[in-house]
Chain A
Amino acid sequence: MPKATRQSFGDALVRIGEKDSRLVVLDADLSKSTGTGGFLKKFPERHFEFGIAEQNMIGAAAGLALCGKVPVAASFSCFLIGRLETIRVAVAYNKTNVKLAGTHAGIGIGDDGTSQMGLEDVAAMRALPGMTVLQPADDLEARQMTEWMIAHDGPVFIRLTRQVVPDVHAEGYRFQLGKADVLHEPAAAKGEAKLQATVFASGGTVGPAVDAAKSLAARGFRVRVVNAGSLMPFDLEAPARAAAESQRIVTVEDHNITGGLGSAVCEAVATSGLGCPVVRLGLESFGESASGAELYEKYGLSAEHIVEACLRNLN
């Protein structure tokens, strides 16, 4: 059912905690917001409150991991990557089995405004060797990714929404690392007509992308929607296929357009050697206070903007 992915993640932690005694959870005075409250209630002896001191929390997580624990350190994603140098050395360079859960991704958080919005976190995390970067689109994928990352041996950053997101996956969906999945496939066309567009979305923008494709389908435009939940490693095949089969690629992310999903898609298209224009929707500035829906409209992430990006004259 529709849920904030932070909540789905928190629910999954409780279930995993029942069978995996290695799991420990660390918070920096935000356990009421990160989704870890359920774990704290159920397993208080395996929950550690570090106060408003994220870099110490991240360093301690590395130490716990070096002694065989599987620590999840949670905070708003902007506060985690504010401690990038600690993440770089204590987590990435040391290859410690630390799971960083960055909630409150993007302008989707709404009213609290820019200082609470994670808008550069994917760019920072993608630049760290050995880091796995995940962003679930819905409840099912968030639970599966959480299970996957606790079982995985190595550092992971998972990016989660504050806002409720719709269910976009069917029950039988299985998350695979390094694989994008098609959420909306247009009806087959006669002849060899290329798709009007392939839209790549991730996290909070997946819902609007699917809405946009449905609205375009009703108007006779064939658009495929691809969910890129695994931002690193990134599925290089999906953009290459999109470049071959589409007139254009549109990327839409609740993040700065530098270094995130749009960049990853452009890198993959360039590497493929196939020419295809890429329209990147996302932030090029900081955000501001308003409702999440108003901000998605203002900053070009709504279904209407995605429709326009699929149809706009590129010349």
Chain B
Amino acid sequence: MPTATASSDTDMKAVTRELRVDIIRMIEAAGSGHPGGSLSVIDLLSVLYLKTLRHRPAEPLWPDRDRVVLSKGHACPALYAVMAKTGYFSRDLLSGLRKLGSPLQGHPDRLRLPGIEVSTGSLGQGLSIALGMALAAKLDKKDFKTWCILGDGEMQEGQVWEALLAAPKFKLDNLIAIVDYNNGQIDGSVKEVMDLEPLADKLRAFNWETIVIDGHDLAAIEGAYAQAARVSGRPVAIVAKTAKGKGVSFMEHPCEWHGKAPNKDEADRAAKELC
């Protein structure tokens, strides 16, 4: 069982604030990293790890665990923060992000950090891998779920649409894709760079049960996860509308804080806002 849980919504809110500070401090210490997309996805990951997942952080290879594939691997500071919070590893490791010999690589590495299911970072690949995991569960008649978190910019990759086409064919109702729709990517807003709209309609047309939520509303997230887990016969997509840099006023911008580390002063200001 997770070593950390949050019993009430107020507690969860406090946890997500605390994890946001971890993200900022970790990237500040590394001197590089991706704060924008980590802050947009942290609420989704927090609810997943603290409220929804069937997992045993002390036994990361437990065969019946739910699988999580962070396809948008650059947001791993958020994943590391929530994994430390739930007891996969000591929080002390967070300050080693991106440093020589650290298991906390710049993008997740499953062979260096137990609890990471898939080494990701090359965008567009995670959903196919998650699909294979869901297929294996069906073959073995196991009831674990596979959760795949995608970035919105990543949805521009053709491989994602190959996987979106395939999952309903295999009736993978044990596969849940969560799109962190923060509308930001390196070269500008997603809308300008390569618009995805109407995204939810496209996913529905691809035969995915599609749920649209506010990706920073913790209760809505928890509700969507519970709803997704009950769907039968086809895969589920959760389009989570989020904001890049969410929680830190000066980082809430589609692309300015995609891949830039805060300096000490900026990190202090961010932490102050969050506390």
Contacts and interface: CB of A to CB of B under 8 A. Distances in A.
Q: What does DSSP make chain B's interface, helix, strand, loop or mixed?
A: helix
B165 A53 contact: yes
Given A59-B125, A89-B122, A66 B132 contact: yes
Interface stretch (B44-52, B133-141, B208-216, B267-275): B133-141
A94 B163 contact: no
B136 A69 contact: yes
Interface residues of A, number: 31
Contacts of A24: 139
Interface string B152-176: 0000001100110110001000000
A89 B125 contact: yes
Contact of A55 (B133, B159, B170): B159
Interface string A177-211: 00000000000000000000000000000000000
B93 to A, nearest CB: 21
Contact of A58 (B121, B128, B140): B128
A68 B129 contact: no
A67 interface: yes
Interface stretch (B18-26, B111-119, B186-194, B241-249): B111-119
A157 to B, nearest CB: 18
A124 B134 CA distance: 30
B132 A62 contact: yes
Contacts of A299: none
A50 interface: yes
A89 B159 contact: no
B131 A89 contact: no
B72 to A, nearest CB: 14
B132 A64 contact: yes
Contacts, number: 100
Given A55-B128, A55-B162, A56-B163, A64 B135 contact: yes
Contacts of A85: 122
B118 A66 contact: yes
B260 interface: no
Nearest to A58: B128
A67 B165 CA distance: 22
Nearest to A48: B135
Interface string A44-85: 011010110101111111111111110100000000000001
Contacts of A68: 136, 140
A231 interface: no
B110 interface: yes
Given A89-B119, A94-B118, A95-B111, A59 B163 contact: yes
Nearest to A69: B136
B130 interface: yes
Contact of B129 (A45, A50, A66, A88): A66
Contacts of A50: 162, 166
A24 B135 CA distance: 11
Contacts of B139: 24, 45-46, 69
A59 B134 CA distance: 12
B128 A64 contact: no
Contact of B131 (A59, A69, A86): A59
Given A51-B166, A53-B165, A93-B119, A60 B137 contact: no
Contacts of A89: 119-122, 125
A75 to B, nearest CB: 14
Given A55-B162, A89-B121, A62 B136 contact: no
A90 interface: yes
The residue among A51, A88, A90 with the most chain B CB atoms within 10 A of its own CB is A90
A57 B159 CA distance: 10
Contact of B132 (A45, A67, A95): A67
A67 to B, nearest CB: 3
Nearest to B126: A59
A56 B131 contact: yes
Given A53-B162, A55-B162, A63 B119 contact: no
A56 B159 contact: yes
A95 B128 CA distance: 16
B4 to A, nearest CB: 26
Nearest to B63: A68
Given A48-B135, A55-B162, A56-B166, A63 B130 contact: yes
Interface string A11-35: 0000000000000100000000000
A58 B121 CA distance: 16
Contact of B128 (A56, A67, A93): A56
Given A48-B135, A64-B135, A64-B136, A90 B162 contact: no
A63 B111 CA distance: 15
A20 B132 CA distance: 19
A62 B129 contact: yes
Nearest to A50: B166
A67 B136 contact: yes
B128 A48 contact: no
A66 B119 CA distance: 11
Contacts of A56: 128, 131, 159, 162-163, 165-166
> Which 9 A-B pairs rank lowest in CB-CB distance, beginning with the nearest?
A63-B132, A59-B128, A67-B136, A56-B162, A60-B132, A53-B162, A63-B129, A63-B133, A64-B132
16 contacts: A24-B139, A50-B162, A55-B159, A56-B166, A59-B125, A60-B129, A64-B132, A66-B117, A66-B118, A66-B133, A67-B132, A67-B137, A68-B136, A86-B125, A89-B119, A90-B129
